Amino acid sequence: MSWDGIAPGLRSFVVWAMDVSSVPILVYFVLINSSLLLIILLAYLEFRAQQRRRATAVSWQGAGLAPGVSLLVPAYNEEAGIVMAVKSFLTLRYPRHEVVVVDDGSSDETFARLEAAFDLVQVPRELPHEIPVRATVLGIFVPRDGRTRLVVVRKENSGRSEAINVAINAASEPLVAMIDGDSILEPDGLLHVTRPFADDPTRMVATGGAIRPVNGSRVVSGRIVRVEMPQTWIPRIQLVEYLRAFLLGRTGWSRLGGLILISGAFGLFRRDVVVEVGGLDPGSIGEDFELVMRIHKRMRDQGRDYKVEFVPEPVSWTEVPVTAKVLRNQRRRWHRGLWETLWAYRGMLFRRKYGRVGWVALPYYWLFELIAPLLELFGILIVPLALVLGVVNVPFAILFLVLAYGYAVLVTLSAMVVDEWAFHKHDRWRAIWQTIAASVLENIGYRQATVWWRLEGWWSSLRGKKHVWGVMTRTGFDEGAP
């Protein structure tokens, strides 16, 4: 069939599709942008308060009420950086913390490196079974010096969630921090993120800290000595995504009392609460999100007075994907996890007892996080088609695109202002121009690709396809690493 034969039918279809969808899409567009504006406003209010607090901060070294923290580090084939990471975790400024590393059946030298570096000896200890785990624990080790607060648990390979559950069982402090082995913590990061627990010890159950990409920065012996922009555009664009997510999104939600997502790269929880809800769900793809949702549900079901807070101070630095392949796998996983968790907790929607979580946060995540890529894909397909078929006013379409993407840039720039005002981590002027460029370039190709990948993740879940964890290729960044 020739183009001339197809064109009239296709044109009719496109006209019909645009007629039917124009009003709902316009309403959606207005709603999503208004809600973003509201979150920016809430984040602004929170940052104003934070800025006042920072301007009048008094030194706090955690004496007195600082609760002990167990840093839980799941490690799978991390031989390259594990020793440096553990050393840097052990030397964080905090009055009482231990490091619990769980070697999740690594096939490389992860354990051997730890054993040599810390002169480990096996302890004939049995771990508590407060959180049930399937995998067999092969051994528990501690440093021979009897002083270094490190526990290494070897177990059969069974995935990150189970590794963390084993670490929770092995942890002895009242707070547990879940942290990736390749993350870098700010020297005072624990002091920042535990402060809400010390200020409100009977109500605080979880806090999350801001996470930033470490790519491009100068790292020596597990410490960042100079913050730099990533050298390529894919991580640079992720940097602006992180700025938006942490400096506006999480801060705004925290202010509203509806924080339902704490990043897996760094989250701090009351151990007894995590145990009470059963730990991480090994069957969940979005296990961190799922855990926070389970905590909210449990607390509200029991009518308990509790708090989940976000700490906007940069706490943890992590390496973000530098290739499209790894990024694709990550985004597929994230969106699949989002869908599965939202679906699992759909019963919390619009229920009075779940308060702002059920009435505001969850509906927002359904409407503007889960469904957004679907509508965006519709726009990506229909607008060029309409332009080709000549069924749309070209200047009008271009103006609409400029408005839509201009708004996205505006949101990113708002986050940049907050960052510059409150934290100013990047010294160089060049970093400003690169961040602005990244916020524009994000809309040309990157955003469309991530829309597709997110839908791939959702689709694979709907088809019941088993999720395969990809390998996050680490380029390595520590100049002090062996």
Partner 1 sequence: MVGGALLIGATVAVLGGCLLLVVTVVVVRAARHSRTRRDQMLLSPLRAPLITVASGEDDDGSAAEQLTWATGVSRTVLDGNIVQLLTKIRGVPAEQLVRVLEVHGAVEAAVADLTHRSSVRRARAAQLLGLAQAGHTVPLLVEALRDESVEVRNSAAYALGLIGDAAAAGPVLAAIGLPDRGLPAATAAEALQSMGVGISEVLREGLGDENARTRMVAAHLSGQRSFTRGLPELRHLLDHDTDLTVRETCAAAIGRLGRGEDAAVLARHTLADEPLSLRRACVQALGELGDEGAVPTLAVLLDDPDPRLAELAASALIELGPEGSGALSGHEDDPAVRSARLMASLQKASA
Among 6, 27, 31, 121, binds partner 1 (CB under 8 A): 121
The residues, ordered by sequence, that sit 6+ positions from 158 with a Cβ below 8 Å of its Cβ are: 104, 105, 133, 134, 135, 282
Q: What are the structure tokens assigned to 37, written together?
A: 């504006």
Query: Which amino acid appears at position 350 of this protein?
Result: F
**Separation of alpha carbons 367 and 30, rounded Å:** 13
Report if residue 466 touches partner 1, rule: CB under 8 A.
no
Q: What are the structure tokens assigned to 445, written together?
A: 């190709």
Window 314-333: residues binding partner 1 (CB under 8 A): none
The distance of Cα 477 from the centroid of its chain, to the nearest Å, equals: 20
Among 144, 346, 351, 430, binds partner 1 (CB under 8 A): 144
Q: What are the structure tokens assigned to 435, written together?
A: 């961040």
Choice between 22 and 323, CB closer to partner 1:
22
> Angle between the 3-55 and 372-389 helix axes, to the nearest 10 degrees?
140
Is the CB of residue 174 less than 8 Å from the CB of residue 271?
yes
**184-185/137-143 β-pairing:** unpaired
CB of 82 vs partner 1, minimal distance in Å: 22
Choice between 10 and 37, CB closer to partner 1:
37
**Separation of alpha carbons 433 and 271, rounded Å:** 43
Choice between 66 and 214, CB closer to partner 1:
66
Window 19-78: residues binding partner 1 (CB under 8 A): 52-53, 55-56, 58-60, 63-66
For 265, what's the count of Cα atoms within 13 Å in the CB-facing half-sphere? 19
CB of 240 vs partner 1, minimal distance in Å: 13
Q: What are the structure tokens assigned to 297, written together?
A: 């549900």
CB of 477 vs partner 1, minimal distance in Å: 26
DSSP state of 136: P
CB of 73 vs partner 1, minimal distance in Å: 20
Report if residue 302 touches partner 1, rule: CB under 8 A.
no
Q: What are the structure tokens assigned to 315, written together?
A: 């706490």
Report if residue 126 touches partner 1, rule: CB under 8 A.
yes
**Per-position DSSP letters for 25-83, written without gaps between them:** HHHHHHHHHHHHHHHHHHHHHHHHHHHHHHHT------TTTPPPEEEEEEESS-TTTHH
Window 384-403: residues binding partner 1 (CB under 8 A): 396, 399-400, 402-403
Among 15, 18, 25, 198, binds partner 1 (CB under 8 A): 198
Report if residue 480 touches partner 1, rule: CB under 8 A.
no
Among 325, 421, 462, 476, binds partner 1 (CB under 8 A): 421
Choice between 115 and 288, CB closer to partner 1:
115
CB of 124 vs partner 1, minimal distance in Å: 4
Report if residue 303 touches partner 1, rule: CB under 8 A.
no
Q: Which stretch binds partner 1 (CB under 8 A): 76-84, 158-166, 248-256, 414-422?
A: 414-422
Window 229-288: residues binding partner 1 (CB under 8 A): 272
**120-123/137-143 β-pairing:** antiparallel
CB of 475 vs partner 1, minimal distance in Å: 29
Q: Which stretch binds partner 1 (CB under 8 A): 196-204, 356-364, 441-449, 458-466?
A: 196-204
Is the CB of residue 421 less than 8 Å from the CB of residue 47?
yes
Among 5, 146, 303, 464, binds partner 1 (CB under 8 A): 146
CB of 419 vs partner 1, minimal distance in Å: 9
Any alpha helices (H) in 154-221, and if so which ranges? 160-170, 189-199
Binding mask 424-463 for partner 1 (x = CB under 8 A): x----x--x---x---------------------------
CA 458, 463, 464, 467 torsion: positive or negative?
negative
CB of 271 vs partner 1, minimal distance in Å: 8
CA torsion angle 341 346 352 355 (round to 10): 20
Choice between 379 and 470, CB closer to partner 1:
379
CA 414, 418, 419, 424 torsion: positive or negative?
positive
CA dist list (Å): 368 to 372, 373, 446, 455: 5, 9, 19, 14
**Separation of alpha carbons 176 and 174, rounded Å:** 7
- Which spans of this chain sit near partner 1 (rule: CB under 8 A)? 52-53, 55-56, 58-60, 63-66, 121, 123-128, 130, 142, 144-147, 172, 174, 195, 198-202, 272, 396, 399-400, 402-403, 406-407, 409-410, 413-414, 416-417, 420-421, 424, 429, 432, 436
